[in-house]
Structure 1
Amino acid sequence: MSWTEVVIEIAQGHAEALSDALMEAGALSVSVEDADEGTDQEKPLFGEPGMEPKEAAWEHSRVVALTDVDADQAAIVAEAAAAIGLAAAPAFTVRDVSDQDWVRLTQSQFAPIHIGKNIWVVPSWHEAPDPSAIILELDPGLAFGTGSHPTTRLCMEWLEAHPAPGKTVLDYGCGSGILAMVAKKMGAGDVAGVDIDPQAIESANDNAARNQCEIDFYLPNDFAVSAKAQHASGRFDIVVANILSSPLKVMAPMLAGRVAPNGSLILSGVLARQAEEVAEAYAPYIKLGVWAEQDGWVALHGQLGSDTVSPARGQ
């Protein structure tokens, strides 16, 4: 089977509305690209995870709509343009799209990722490059955390550099469960993960089972109820949280309160320019410093002194 792509270059203000209208008019799928890609005018379009730009379009956008090869592309474009109030249908070009093995094409975009000295994140359809390494079988999915983002890599590298055989570990904001699994693979004892997204908890449980890692994953309310029974005092030798700077600051008393005496706290999801303000939020409880930086992101680390008074733990 073959398809035809309709390619329209349009101003940023119309790109998102036109995309929706093209779908309503009969397009099978629509994407928006930077029309200046590959030139000196190309611009990145991203923000912190969870804080992406409200409008997924560029100043000079290219809208690409996939249609059936037998569809009336001119009619689809005209209907979409009228629906969003354009005075005239925009000019467009078409290009043929031949049938492909879309599963294999998608899989080819995800290769094993080497992290730190001896960690490999390997999609299920790949062979592990080094079977003697620490292997995490993890497919790209809906939960954040495959090792490709600098914040995840920084936390994984810290865990590898500070193995804690038999120690307890809490991964707060666990996403896919990748950090909890690294800790477990490095020999940790009891490991727990917490996330606000039920889908992340499901994904993390699936990933842990696939990687033969015994880890307890919780939603926050369940964790507050279960942590003491499952994890003694509810404090952990290592607490790692890869979230974002704003929630990390709000959660300072709670996260610091989860750290056992002489335990370590590792935070990421923090841009280098935000490191000082995040450290200030934790200063009443634990002194944090930048452990490492990668691509403008940092990992903060601190150790709770045995004589430090911990705040209330909450959730």
Structure 2
Amino acid sequence: MPWLHIKIPTLPEHTDALEDALLLAGCQAVTLVDSEDQPVFEPIRGTTPLWQHTTIQGLFDHELDANALTQQLQDAMQAMKIDAQGPIITEILEDKDWERSWMDNFKPIPCGDRLWICPSWLEPPDPTAINLRLDPGLAFGTGTHPTTFLCLTWLDQNTRPGDTVLDYGCGSGILGLAALLLGADRMDGLDIDPQALDATRANADNNAIAPSRFRVMLDDQDLDPHYDLVVANILAGPLCDLAASICSRLRSNGKIALSGILEHQADTVLAAYAPWVDFEPRASHDGWVRLNGRRRQ
């Protein structure tokens, strides 16, 4: 069915109050979007940053009177002493097969010489390649983000038969599962989100990967002592905090790849791992960096 779509430009500090006002007015869904294409990268811990210029959007029953709704929200803003940051815009959002539209825009991704990431509803462009069938879901990781792509291309070049792999912060399991398809013998995935473990299991099943070849866990106490390959695609802050713990799981002369790092953060992460790892030249893609190297003997 169609929806009445309303957009209110505001400031970050007013979003909670405006969300409450929208919900009280009968809003069915609330979304926050960037008004000016201003990136928000890694947040300060304990904060949930928003863009300096934020637009709060709401979906209402299309039969509501748009003028009356606009007036109601303007009255609420006035009562809360919230100044308008621009005109309130209403429009009818026509019904659409959003799932089909989204699926049409998700294409197979080549990640090096051997590996493709391919959604389940499409035939692989190269049936003879190593094709990881993966659908976006609750956990992060589809191959489209530069940090994931950088790690996948590294795995394509560095995974060898018999390798044991630790996917630190496994999300959807895309990195560890790709390593298994590329010839690794066994993979352990670690994440703090239980949904990530469910997503990894589901994606393994979709790729006919036997449960005996991988484990997923929430507690690093359950990990093996050492792995041949360690890949960690998280954020720069946690990467630095966990440097000693992550490196302790990498065998002597084992290979490591770190990502989730912005270009201006790379030197800080390098310094955190310098006591254990000899790094190769960094790889960059769209402002993000992958650091990779070997554990010193």
Output the TM-score relative to the length of structure 1. 0.82
Alignment-derived partner of residue 66 in structure 2: 73
Distance 1:260 1:174 in 2: 19
State the match for 1:218 in structure 2: 216
Q: Is the 8 A contact 1:16 1:57 kept in 2?
A: no
Q: In the alignment, is residue 161 of structure 1 matched against residue 157 of structure 2?
A: yes
Cα displacement (A) at 1:175: 0.7
SS at match of 1:181: helix
2:59 is paired with a residue of what secondary structure?
Answer: strand
Deviation, structure 1 residue 160: 0.6
Distance 1:21 1:194 in 2: 40
Instruction: Look up the equivalent residue of 1:28 and give its one-letter code.
Output: Q
**Structure-1 separation of matches of 2:123 and 2:47:** 37
Of 102, 108, 115 in structure 1, the residue corresponding to residue 98 of structure 2 is: 102
Indicate whether 1:112 and 2:112 are aligned: no
Report the CA distance shift for 1:107/1:235 in structure 2 as closer, same or farther (over 3 A).
same
Offset of residue 302 of structure 1: 1.9
Q: Deviations over 1:197-244 (max 9, x none)?
A: 1110111111111112234233342x423x34xxxxx21111111111
Question: Relative to 1, partners in 2 of residues 1:21 and 1:206: Cα closer, same or farther, differing over 3 Å?
Answer: same
Alignment match, 2:41: 47
Q: Taking structure 1 as reference, are residues 87 and 285 closer, same or farther at Cα in structure 2, changes over 3 Å only?
A: closer
The more displaced of 138-147 and 63-72 is 63-72
Deviations 1:148-193 (A, max 9, x none): 1111111111111123111111111111101101111110112111
What is the percent sequence identity of the aligned residues? 40
Residues in 2 aligned to 1:88 and 1:248: alpha-carbon distance in whole angstroms: 41
The residue that corresponds to 1:231 in the other structure is: none
Q: Residue 141 of structure 2 aligns with which residue?
A: 145
Q: What code does the residue aligned with 2:217 have?
A: L
Tell me, yes or no, if structure 1 residue 3 matches structure 2 residue 31: no
Q: Structure 2: state its 5+ residue gaps.
A: none
Cα pair 1:172 1:242 within 8 Å, conserved: yes
Partner of 1:278: 269
Partner of 2:21: 21
SS of residue matched to 2:152: helix
The 8 Å contact of residues 45 and 58 in structure 1, kept in 2 or not, is answered as no
Structure 2 match to 1:126: 122
Q: Which runs of 5+ in 1 are unaligned?
A: 36-41, 229-233, 309-315
The answer (yes or no) to whether the contact 1:195–1:201 under 8 Å persists in 2 is yes
Q: Secondary structure at the match of 1:287?
A: strand
Q: Secondary structure at the match of 2:160?
A: coil
> CA separation in 1, counterparts of 2:22 and 2:112?
45
CA RMSD of aligned residues (A): 2.7
How far apart, in 1, do the equivalents of 2:46 and 2:289 lie?
19
Deviation at 1:263, TM superposition (A): 1.1
State the distance in 2 between where 1:50 and 1:181 align.
Answer: 31
The one-letter amino acid paired with 1:72 is D
Partners of 1:290 and 1:52 lie apart in 2 by 33
Which range moves more in the overlay, 170-179 or 251-260? 251-260
| AA at the equivalent of 1:152 | T
Kept after mapping to 2: 8 A contact 1:156/1:182: yes
Partner AA of 2:67 in structure 1: A
**Structure 1 residues 48, 91: closer, same or farther in 2, change over 3 A?**
closer
Shift of 1:101: 2.0
Q: Give the Cα–Cα distance (whole angstroms) in 1 for the partners of residues 44 and 144 of structure 2.
A: 16
Residue 121 of structure 1: CA displacement? 1.6
